[in-house]
Copies of this chain bind each other. A is one copy, B any other.
Amino acid sequence: MATQTHTSSEDISVGLAQFIENCRWEDIPDVVRHEAKRSLLNYFAAALSACFDPTVERAAQVYARFSAAQQATVIGRGQRLDMLTAAALNTMMANVFDFDDTHIPTIIHPTAPVAPAVFALAQTRPLSGANLLLSFILGAEAECRIGQAVSPGHYSRGWHITSTCGVFGAAMATGKLLGLSTQQLVWALGSASAQASGLVETLGTMSKSVSMGNASRNGMLSAFLAQQDFDGPAQPLEGARGFLNVTADAPDCQSIVSELGTRWELLNNTYKPFPCGVVLNPVIEACLGLAKHPELLQQGLHALERIELHGHPLLRQRTDRPNVATGRESQVSAQHAVAVSLTRGKAGLAEFSDQAVADESLRALGRKVVFVEDASFAVEAATVKLHWAQGKSLVVAIDIARGARAKPLSDQELENKVRTLCEYGGSGCEPEALIQAVWAMDRATDVGQIMQLVAGKNK
């Protein structure tokens, strides 16, 4: 049995590595196995939506010049590149819209750096689906636990936590698939620690995607180096000048190894119904309900006097952006989200594109938004009140938004997300076969074949 509880503060890196070396597929609870598949479905959905995004296009132009072989599929683009390069580009596309998953305790997007690594490796040798899922689960576990140990100070200081912790996840997932020993896994953590990077300052720009791609690429590289006994420090995580102490003010080192094998961080993973900052989830859900309301249709949006958003103070702090210029910015603008949801009755990627933002009538409607901060609201709750002249009003209150931990997207909703985003991305891939293959992947004998279903056509 791989389950171990470590209590010494001396062996954080070794303790984590031991668990990863020893953990077997039989040790993974069914609910965790299923959540892993849900995370992967959401990953493919997000990646397929962005395979021709300008960030990915420009990166692919440069990266392809430095790719060794046609080993691994670049999702949706009808292109194969070497494992490291394909992993980098697939990570970028899965995360570029921030429509990928969210590990609530850390706000890490766990899957984007880890899944591309294990699928790339799976295209170079026959690997069972159970093996891949096990490695993915362990990689995500390492990534999220390391993220917890440095939270919340790490992100608030300015570290892009998915990038900085993702490299450890990709290293451990790849290392597990390669069958590395505990010592080699510690060395892989060391080479990963030497490559951990990514800054919050880059968010909203293309350069965010560089650190995301590196997380996956360099995590794989760390594992390949460790396989050659390329050594590293004994305590890359907890050492005096190791990752935890350098990037956090008071790291909770112990949380990395506590309850290993019984606490599974993938169970804290969530999936977005809308391509927006999660604090906007309840607001958009309320507005989509209001958009269909007969009273609204009768009174009309133009006659609205005021749109009140009642919610937790974080709602205003994170999303009070009245005049956004780009689709990317609109994903964290309450004004735009409210206006477009009420007007179009939809809140997909098209509603948060540069084109949507250019619609002047949406900006006019957005100016009617008023924030009412109320600390008694949970972050996943909000109330939207529409006011017309002569005292007419409409109210919708959302207690727990869809997509929150307490109200997760259903499997069916995730399947629909794959269908919708696959269509949006323009790869021409067929979502139904992919959906079936992911649900059945624990029985696959050569799981790398899944990548053929998301290959797309060369344009």
Contact = CB atoms under 8 A, between A and B. Distances in A.
Interface of A: 55, 58-59, 61-62, 65-68, 82-85, 157-160, 163, 187, 190-191, 193-202, 204-208, 210-211, 214, 218, 221-222, 224-225, 227-233, 235-236, 239-243, 245-246
Contacts of A193: 199, 201-202, 207
Contacts of A197: 194-197
B195 A214 contact: yes
A206 B221 contact: no
B206 A231 contact: yes
A327 to B, nearest CB: 14
A117 to B, nearest CB: 13
B228 A61 contact: yes
Nearest to A164: B197
Contact of A225 (B59, B191, B221, B227): B59
Given A201-B240, A207-B190, A55 B159 contact: no
B163 A194 contact: yes
Contact of A158 (B218, B224, B232, B245): B245
Report how many copies the assembly holds.
2
B243 A199 contact: yes
B207 A55 contact: no
Given A242-B201, A243-B199, A207 B221 contact: no
A227 B58 CA distance: 10
Contacts of A160: 194
16 contacts: A55-B230, A58-B225, A58-B229, A59-B225, A66-B83, A67-B68, A157-B246, A158-B242, A190-B202, A194-B202, A197-B197, A200-B246, A201-B233, A201-B242, A202-B233, A207-B231
B159 A187 contact: no
Given A158-B246, A193-B207, A208-B194, A62 B201 contact: no
A228 B66 contact: no
